[in-house]
Amino acid sequence: MTKFGIIIGIIASIWVIYNIWSNHKEKSSEAKLLWTLAAIIPMLSIVTAIVYYMSENKKNKDL
């Protein structure tokens, strides 16, 4: 992975972890922990951020 990819992965991980723990008080601790662990895994951080964004964006549109 290039330096650019590593930086994007770190930013994506930080965004997912911050967003899930600060903005989603209604989610269970288990769900928050699962998203956090998925974001920490180096090869999955960008994929996790995309999946998280798409799943939360869909839920917000349904409301």
Total count of domains within the chain? 1
- The pLDDT tens digits for 21-62 are 998 888 899 989 998 998 888 778 888 888 988 887 766 665
- The pLDDT tens digits for 6-24 are 898 889 999 999 998 998 8
The answer to whether residue 40 sits within a structural domain is yes
Distance CA 49, CA 13 (A): 7
> Whole domain around residue 14: which residue ranges?
3-57
Would the pLDDT of 63 be above 80?
Answer: no
The answer to whether residue 63 sits within a structural domain is no
The answer to whether residue 14 sits within a structural domain is yes
Q: Measuring CA to CA, which residue among 5, 9, 8 is closest to residue 42?
A: 9
The answer to whether residue 53 sits within a structural domain is yes
Distance CA 63, CA 2 (A): 39
pLDDT at 62: 57
The answer to whether residue 62 sits within a structural domain is no
Q: Supply the pTM of this predicted model.
A: 0.77
pLDDT at 11: 92
